[in-house]
Structure 1
């Protein structure tokens, strides 16, 4: 019938085509699901600010026992109590075993006995009120623990990718998304109240685990409600929210200098995400694949109604369940999975090694972080157009090779120099090289995400993406 009230039976893909694959219904979904994704970089890059070790020196109060320092000024006390660096500042991890009063007459300090800091450290709190390093003395021989906490967080991300990949197939994308919202919020706020580094690391692990569910399900839900032609667009939009959140982190961290308050501040937006979850539709593809045709029809009616089309009934056969074993079931899939896994490891490790190393470039860390985040925007927008001209294979190979070249150049850069001693020209070249490297790395990331969506068949796509989860 040609009446607007008539019912037309067609396949799910055909219905999406009828609404041009991206109508008002899809726009609402993208807004509801992409906005919470801005929380991801707030947590993934959080250690750039909460784990900073500000300038510090040994607490030399133990040398003043018995009034040995007398009427010495603070500068004189540091002179007799702590050996100096080449730039004239006090060393961070050493102090003299005994006060060296002869140094007040400009004597040489070479060969004088030194010891590790006995009574802790004194920190410069002019930039940061409190960080992990200042609260638990994660400096000197304990400074590697800050990197350990980052590794623990990303280990949680890795396990979360596997777990939530299974859970969203078992219980649905929408229900799993709510669980990840709540878990991320609970563990995120709990982290701010950790009273030991061990507890902090454990809660960061759980936060990373939970945030993976947010990332995977929000992207999968967005993609499964649009047609094939708009999937690249959705991927780029979702990726741009990462840039926005990453740039916001620099501003939030600049305003909030206490690590506990900052952790709560970057977790708080999840409360709004929980409220907006009620308007998020379940994936019609998942409902149909699990035989829930009536519920799928309910959401399809909403989609059709939003686009002012005639009523439509979906025709879709219930498919079998797929697991991670399907990624290695045939020789071709095994080879593809191995290839994509190796490339993904290179892309992710290089991206995060750059993004989590924002010190040592002679710039304010807030500005450096903001520049690193902002440089991703043109890269992601460029990918959307370039891949349509040159193809994914050429773009992927080109960006990877150019990135490798920039990484190789850094090997030959002088190390161990401060920004004060290095010429402006050298620092400009260094920052330029790293910035180009960052830009090319992001190009490679975006191209690879799109390429994986094309390589795997529909039923294997999400499994493949979960197994190589990055952000």
Structure 2
């Protein structure tokens, strides 16, 4: 592709790329935390009904010398099937006779119960405050907690679609900067939401800008590097996600009040706006969108930062026009979403990528947002997954370069599915093995997401890459939004949702072989590049087959 020749002249991995990537990776580490923030801010602590004799300070103090707290709880709250206090019901009248029952008698009439009309008492040993305790999102209102997550996912979906169009229209740098500002403002205001409705609205607005930041920062790294360094970029993005997990776990451990945690993860984003003025726009995007003079200016700036001397002599408008003539013609007509489905090869790629990313995200998000359901320490699991993902991402980079994108995806998806199916088959008593497998599965899911993003970027043309990724992001976020709904199946079997997640991952791994290999191949810049590459590979296969049949 023409731009690769220009990139070689200015340096495809020099000081410019290192400094720009460092800043963008730090941004990613902080921003990606918001995607998993409700693991802690919306955690559901242990709870039971508020009862007058137990939780009224005056009554409790007068009775403390007569009955223990356990006795008062026994006569006030019924027990569930696990012989633990019910979370959503209490006795209408105090059952004093239960203090004298040593067994279960069939002739004893079942005491009448009622809902928690006076509110709930929450266990504050882990979290001092969450959105659940703030607005009593438990029992009959527990569905509202899922509604809040669903609204946030809808924000992600809309944000993907809008950012795809806006990034291709106005550039990667501008949309990245605007999204950072929006995240900082809405994230900070969320901490002061006075009611649940405003909280959901602010989370929706925050969801609009998370993926635009992630995708545009990835564009500004991928589009400034040569193919041999693109797997390195993917590994570094995965490492930054791991660092973000560690930061989130540490912050959540330090700030047990959800308001304070929300502020701690949002206010620092304001400071990231300052260095954005020194970011360089993608020259590849500038030239493809018929802005060659701006592209030339940026290329010369990058060459200077990379220490390339006499760059003005080697980089001229004539050279830009000669090496980029093919996409200059393409740039005269503005591409639209319709163009994604008009040519056979790109249409096939889009269809497969949407289906595979949709199914993959159901499994990955199923694990990521339901760590609490696995009965482990959420702080520890989140921190360990972040710490282990850093060396695992480096190893994944070498594996990605060694075996290619398709086999890499097959291997990781199969392994992820096996991990999930194994976790549910081991007894809860084996806590160490349970933590190890859950950590490995979480790390595996993070690496899958990064490698999938790389493969997707390498399959789509620059001229419409952002809008294509936005369209695929809709399917991805639909999978993420539907993922929590599978937990409803726990009423039939506690293992059924995890079986579905595991089987889906294995099927995605097998189907990923339908996508073409992009290892060490330049990024396509126009839609015609995608079609020509497919035709060229098909002709090469046909010629190879003829040579095998007729060696003379």
TM-score bin, normalised by smaller chain:
0.7 to 0.9
Q: 1:432: how far off? A: 4.4
1:203 aligned residue: 202
For the 8 Å contact 1:40–1:242, the answer to whether it is kept is: no
Instruction: Give the Cα–Cα distance (whole angstroms) in 2 for the partners of residues 68 and 123 of structure 1.
Output: 19
User: Are 1:21 and 2:12 an aligned pair?
Assistant: yes
Q: 1:428: how far off? A: 4.3
Given candidates 313, 317, 322, the residue that maps to 2:316 is 313
2:392 aligned residue: 379
Which stretch of structure 1 is more off in the superposition, 100-109 or 323-332? 100-109
- 1:404-448 alpha-carbon deviations (Å, 9 max, x no partner): 34444556x48xxxxxxx6633x4454444444334433433332
What SS does the corresponding residue of 1:95 show, helix, strand or coil?
A: strand
Instruction: Give the Cα–Cα distance (whole angstroms) in 2 for the partners of residues 150 and 366 of structure 1.
Output: 20
What TM-score do the two structures reach when normalised by structure 1?
Answer: 0.88
2:525 aligned residue: none
> CA RMSD of the aligned region, Å?
2.7
For the 8 Å contact 2:155–2:205, the answer to whether it is kept is: yes
Instruction: Give the Cα–Cα distance (whole angstroms) in 1 for the partners of residues 295 and 208 of structure 2.
Output: 29
For the 8 Å contact 1:173–1:283, the answer to whether it is kept is: yes
2:263 aligned residue: 264
Gaps of 5+ in 1: 1-10, 415-421
2:46 aligned residue: 55
User: Are 1:449 and 2:444 an aligned pair?
Assistant: no
- 1:176-222 alpha-carbon deviations (Å, 9 max, x no partner): 12211111111111111111112111110110102222112111122
Instruction: Give the Cα–Cα distance (whole angstroms) in 1 for the partners of residues 346 and 123 of structure 2.
Output: 55
- 1:125-163 alpha-carbon deviations (Å, 9 max, x no partner): 222121011111111222232222112111111110110
Given candidates 425, 429, 453, the residue that maps to 1:424 is 429
More helix by share: 2
For the 8 Å contact 2:10–2:303, the answer to whether it is kept is: yes
Q: 1:250: how far off? A: 0.3
User: Are 1:286 and 2:285 an aligned pair?
Assistant: yes
For the 8 Å contact 2:137–2:144, the answer to whether it is kept is: yes
Which stretch of structure 1 is more off in the superposition, 208-217 or 369-378? 369-378
For the 8 Å contact 2:77–2:89, the answer to whether it is kept is: yes
Residues paired across the two proteins, number = 452
What SS does the corresponding residue of 2:133 show, helix, strand or coil?
A: helix
Q: 1:262: how far off? A: 0.8
Instruction: Give the Cα–Cα distance (whole angstroms) in 2 for the partners of residues 144 and 377 of structure 1.
Output: 36
For the 8 Å contact 1:63–1:99, the answer to whether it is kept is: no
Instruction: Give the Cα–Cα distance (whole angstroms) in 2 for the partners of residues 292 and 458 of structure 1.
Output: 14
For the 8 Å contact 2:45–2:124, the answer to whether it is kept is: yes
2:96 aligned residue: 101
Given candidates 466, 480, 498, the residue that maps to 1:462 is 466
Q: 1:88: how far off? A: 5.0
Instruction: Give the Cα–Cα distance (whole angstroms) in 2 for the partners of residues 293 and 272 of structure 1.
Output: 32
Gaps of 5+ in 2: 478-552
Q: 1:366-445 to 2 correspondence within 5 Å? A: 366-409=379-422, 413=425, 424-425=429-430, 427-445=431-449
1:222 aligned residue: 221
Which stretch of structure 1 is more off in the superposition, 79-88 or 304-313? 79-88
Instruction: Give the Cα–Cα distance (whole angstroms) in 2 for the partners of residues 195 and 344 of structure 1.
Output: 36
Q: 1:226-305 to 2 correspondence within 5 Å? A: 226-305=225-304
Instruction: Give the Cα–Cα distance (whole angstroms) in 2 for the partners of residues 307 and 179 of structure 1.
Output: 28
Which stretch of structure 1 is more off in the superposition, 98-107 or 49-58? 98-107
What TM-score do the two structures reach when normalised by structure 2?
Answer: 0.76
2:496 aligned residue: none
1:418 aligned residue: none
User: Are 1:326 and 2:335 an aligned pair?
Assistant: no
What SS does the corresponding residue of 2:48 show, helix, strand or coil?
A: strand
Which stretch of structure 1 is more off in the superposition, 387-396 or 437-446? 437-446
What SS does the corresponding residue of 1:153 show, helix, strand or coil?
A: helix
